[in-house]
């Protein structure tokens, strides 16, 4: 989450009922924070949770087919890995 000392250049406009506004102001006051800092902090926490909990992704058919093709392709073995495993282990070479 961004530090409050970071430059804020974006505006987010929201509307609230009087009850919601009073509740938010009371929560911010009890935390010793400005309403802006309080709202941003808790909205970012919730957004991080929502993004982390995403379990479904929509992929176009063409990209899905390409993805499956890559999964079915045999893995490539890096040349360095082949060289590494072609030599006896260090513990056995002494």
pLDDT digits (tens, 9 = 90+) for 6-55: 788 999 999 999 999 999 999 999 999 999 999 999 999 999 999 999 98
Burial 62-87 (b: 16+ CB within 10 A, else e): eeeeeeeeeeeeeeeeeeeeeeeeee
| Domain boundaries along the sequence of the chain | 18-92
Q: What pLDDT, on the 0 to 100 scale, is given for residue 92? A: 74
Global pTM reads: 0.55
Band (pLDDT 50/70/90 cuts) for residue 94 is low
């Amino acid at each position: 989450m961004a530090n409050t000392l970071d430059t804020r250049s974006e505006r987010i406009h929201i509307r609230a009922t009087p009850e919601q506004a009073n509740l938010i102001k009371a929560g911010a006051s009890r935390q010793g924070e400005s309403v802006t800092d309080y709202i941003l902090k808790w909205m970012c926490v919730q957004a991080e949770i929502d993004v982390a909990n995403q379990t479904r992704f929509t992929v176009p058919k063409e990209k899905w087919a390409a993805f499956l093709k890559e999964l079915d392709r045999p893995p490539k073995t890096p040349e360095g890995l082949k060289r590494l495993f072609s030599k006896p282990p260090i513990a056995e070479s002494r």
